[in-house]
Structure formats: C-alpha cells, structure tokens
C-alpha cells in the first residue's frame, strides 16, 4: 500500500486548499453573526484544573513545573465550558469562543484528538433560543462555504430548512419501539427494564452494562443514523439522569433542558439550559467520577473554583458545536482531517496487544 503524501506536500495541499479556504470563510461568517448580535468573543485558557467530569470524557494531563521546581498536574481542557461559566458569573451576558480543545481516546473519521469547538452562552435566555441559533448558523456556514446541501457519506440535509424537533421519548418510540421514560420510574433509571426492552428489539446487552450503556447503544445503533436526513434534527428532552450539566425541565422534571443537533446522522452540537445548583452539580460530578474509576481506573479532580462560580452564575443557556464537523458537512469532506489546516499524524510505534 502506498502511503498518502503528508498534508504539507505542495500537491496535496493544493488539493486540500479549497476546503480550507471554505473553512476560513465559514468561521469568519459565524464570528460576524455573533458580533452583530452583541456577543463578545472570549478566549478560554486551555490549561485547567480539571478537563471535565463526565464518565466517558478523557482529558490529556500536562505537568507544569514552577520556578521553585514544584510540579503540578493540570489538564488540557475538553471544552471551554468551566471557564465560560466563570465569565458568566463575572457578569458577561453573551459570549462565544472558538476554542481549541483536546480529548484523549478519540480518533477517526469524525473524531480528532485536537479540534475546534464553537461554544456560546446567553445569560437570562431560554435554551430554546439556542435551537434558533443553530438553525441560523447552519445556513450561515452553508452560504459561506458555497454549499446548497450538507453531505456525509450517502446522507444529505438541506441547511436552509428549519430543523425538526424530536424528543428522546418520541425518537426511541419511533425508531426503536421502546418507551424510554417508562424505564426511569420516578426519575430513577431501571437498568433491567431498559435492558429487557433493548433485547426485545434485537439490541445486544452485556451483563455488566449499566442503564446509560444500554441507552447509548440504542441511541447509536437505532436513533442517530435516522437523524438529520433531509433537514437537521434537534433531539431534545433527555432523561434527567442523562442531563450532564443541564437543569431539569420545569414542566416535566423527568427530563432535562438538553438537546443535541444532528445533520446527515452526525452529531454537531450539545446544548443545555444550564444547571446552577452547585450541590446537585457536585453530586453528578462525583457519581460520574465514581463510574469512571470503576470503568477506566482513573478520575479527575473537581474544579472548586468552578463550583464557587456556579453558585453565583445567573440563569443561562449554553451550547458547544463541533466546528470541524460542520465544515465537513458543508464541504462534503469525508474525514475530519480533511478540514484541519495541520492534522495530527497517526500514532507511531507498537500497537497495544489485542
């Protein structure tokens, strides 16, 4: 097999350059969109006390040596979320950040270890406003890239049509034949009930799978491939036990003010009506780190400065959008490396034993 030329080879760069220039135009258009609406661009520091506290989110550790020789372990952030929420607590009402973020154990057609996350926040505004933002930004990116249709593999979506809005409850019923909320009686996940329902529709379930594992498998195998076809999809109202950093929905405490944006079966964004209950957030973080310790044998510290800021942060909504994936769809690029100016080389050296 002949290896592909490196990205810096002039001939290969000439082939890649039209897509990279489309990326630049789209990024400029999105920045302009935010500035015209009174948002302030911020730059969150990449080194943080904690990379985040979600069970399956893996950070990259960095050793920092002080002049006196003292060594501390910090982390490259997996999202600018903690830093941005501190700025909300400081009084900034509308902010956005084109953040370079880092996630370990992620590499593939849709994943890169280092990538760009567009994150924005609205203080005092409902999370449904973010859904309207997403619809506008899809169209802005398409226009800037000179695209009339988003494409990924054999799927397509019109970025100029308003996204459909589908609840998790409806999506599980429609595409998997599962009554999702029935498996969380009183907001408490019943693992065996969901496992039995999943097995009943042909989903493989392992003996040691937790409720969240089964939920994710059904989502990935039966739901996500059917989202964002023809037009974008907003998948909303996640069960409250899958809320992450989102608050419960006042009209239905069984679900959280959380949604994800999909186009062409690809997840593009994850938005929240932000949780500001520091006690509840700590409980979730500890539970997730306990699960991470059990599964992966590691855990990350809790950013106590973030917890203090959360207690004074105003009601807000916030969202993170994968800029590179958005550019992929707008240009029809098959892999995330195709839209990165300087993609990382593949790891060299011996592979782990299988």
How does strand 71-76 pair with strand 60-65?
antiparallel
Q: Report the predicted TM-score, pTM, of the whole model to 2 decimal places.
A: 0.94
Task: Give the C-alpha separation, 96 to 117, whole Å.
Answer: 10
> What is residue 69's predicted lDDT score, i.e. its pLDDT?
87
Task: Give the C-alpha separation, 67 to 64, whole Å.
Answer: 10
Burial class of residue 195 (count of CB atoms within 10 Å of its CB; 0-12, 13-18, 19+): buried
Burial class of residue 318 (count of CB atoms within 10 Å of its CB; 0-12, 13-18, 19+): buried
Q: What is the pLDDT of residues 131-187, one digit of tens each?
A: 999 999 999 999 999 999 999 999 999 999 999 999 999 999 999 999 999 999 988
Q: What is the pLDDT of residues 47-85, one digit of tens each?
A: 999 999 999 999 999 999 989 989 989 999 999 999 999
Q: What is the pLDDT of residues 3-24, one digit of tens each?
A: 578 999 999 999 999 999 999 9
> What is residue 14's predicted lDDT score, i.e. its pLDDT?
96
The DSSP 8-state label assigned to residue 11 in this structure reads H
**CATH entry, 10-163+228-339, from 3.30.450.40, 3.30.930.10, 1.10.533.10, 3.40.190.10:** 3.30.930.10
| Better-predicted residue by pLDDT, 63 or 346 | 63
Q: Domain limits of the chain?
A: 10-163+228-339
């Amino acid at each position: 097999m002949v290896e592909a030329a490196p990205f810096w080879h002039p001939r290969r760069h000439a082939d890649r350059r039209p897509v990279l220039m489309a990326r630049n135009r789209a990024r400029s258009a999105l920045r302009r969109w935010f500035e015209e609406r009174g948002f302030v661009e911020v730059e969150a520091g990449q080194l943080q006390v904690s990379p985040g506290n979600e069970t399956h989110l893996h950070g990259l550790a960095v050793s920092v040596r002080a002049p006196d020789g003292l060594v501390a372990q910090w982390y490259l952030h997996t999202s600018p979320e903690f830093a941005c929420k501190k700025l909300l607590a400081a009084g900034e009402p509308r902010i956005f950040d084109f953040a370079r973020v880092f996630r370990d154990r992620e590499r593939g057609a849709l994943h890169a270890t280092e990538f760009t996350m567009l994150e924005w926040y609205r203080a005092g505004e409902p999370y449904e406003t973010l859904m309207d933002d997403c619809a506008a930004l899809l169209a802005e990116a398409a226009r800037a890239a000179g695209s009339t249709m988003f494409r990924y593999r054999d799927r397509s979506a019109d970025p100029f049509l308003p996204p459909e809005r589908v609840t998790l409850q409806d999506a599980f019923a429609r595409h998997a034949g599962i009554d999702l909320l029935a498996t969380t009686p009183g907001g408490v996940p019943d693992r065996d009930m969901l496992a039995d329902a999943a097995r009943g529709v042909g989903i493989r379930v392992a003996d040691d799978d937790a409720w969240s594992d089964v939920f994710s498998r059904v989502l990935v195998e039966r739901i996500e491939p059917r989202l964002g076809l023809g037009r974008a999809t907003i998948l909303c109202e996640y069960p409250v036990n899958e809320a992450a950093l989102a608050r419960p929905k006042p009209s239905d405490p069984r679900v959280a003010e959380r949604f994800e944006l999909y186009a062409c079966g690809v997840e593009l964004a994850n938005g929240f009506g932000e949780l500001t209950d520091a006690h509840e957030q700590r409980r979730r973080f500890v539970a997730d780190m306990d699960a991470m310790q059990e599964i992966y044998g590691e855990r990350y510290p809790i950013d106590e400065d973030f917890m203090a800021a959360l207690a004074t942060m105003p009601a807000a909504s916030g969202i993170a959008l994968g800029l590179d994936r958005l550019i992929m769809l707008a240009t029809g690029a098959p892999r995330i490396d195709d839209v990165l100016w300087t993609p990382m080389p593949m790891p060299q050296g011996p592979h782990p034993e299988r």
